[in-house]
Structure 1
């Protein structure tokens, strides 16, 4: 199991996309929208400071814990893309398609917003889950 921590408030990719006249989305590399690319690079930098092993080539059971400074988090499902892109950019994985399944959790931590990522190689770990009805 590999555990990585990225400090700071998570950033969603959907907030930084622009669309051309034909409706195609693109990511500018300059201006205020370039903040997303800087976030990807920041993730890659923190990953490279914490992981020194070989590139992971197998599928990975992925747990993402997003810690926000307050309840203003927007659509939670838009955050994994930026995180996955940063992981791929770091070189720890070859392609973000390796990250499956992805379990996503959100928390509030006013003092220490961050992203915690746990990677479990699927050739060494299995995942099971249980959903139970809350008794009344």
Structure 2
């Protein structure tokens, strides 16, 4: 199991894409959109500081815990893309298609916004879940 912590408020990829009149989207490398590229690089940097082992092979069970400073979260489902792109950029995996399943949780922590990433090689671990009535 690998656990990585990325300090700061999570950033969503969808806020930085541009579209042309034909509906095609792209990610500019300059202007305010460079903030997203910097966020991906920051994630990769923190992963490389906190993990020095070999690249992970096969499917990776991924748990993402997002800690926001307030209730202004936006669309929660847009955050994993930026985080998964940063994980891939770090070189810890070859392709973010390996990250499956991905479990996503959100919390509020005014004092310490962050992203906690847990990675488990599916060949060594299995995942179970249980939903029960309150």
Residue aligned with 2:55, SS: coil
Listed as ranges, the matches of 1:36-51 within 5 Å are 36-51=36-51
Partner of 2:102: 102
Listed as ranges, the matches of 1:1-136 within 5 Å are 1-134=1-134
RMSD: 0.6
Residue aligned with 1:118, SS: strand
**Which sections of structure 1, spanning at least 5 residues, go unmatched?**
none
TM-score normalised by the chain length of structure 1: 0.97
Contact 2:57 2:121 (8 Å CA) reproduced? no
Contact 2:61 2:99 (8 Å CA) reproduced? yes
Distance 1:126 1:82 in 2: 25
Moved over 3 A (4+): none
**Which sections of structure 2, spanning at least 5 residues, go unmatched?**
none
Distance 1:47 1:129 in 2: 27
TM-score normalised by the chain length of structure 2: 0.98
Query: 1:22: Cα distance to partner?
Result: 1.2
Number of equivalenced pairs: 134
Query: 1:57: Cα distance to partner?
Result: 1.4
Query: 1:6: Cα distance to partner?
Result: 0.4
Query: 1:115: Cα distance to partner?
Result: 0.2
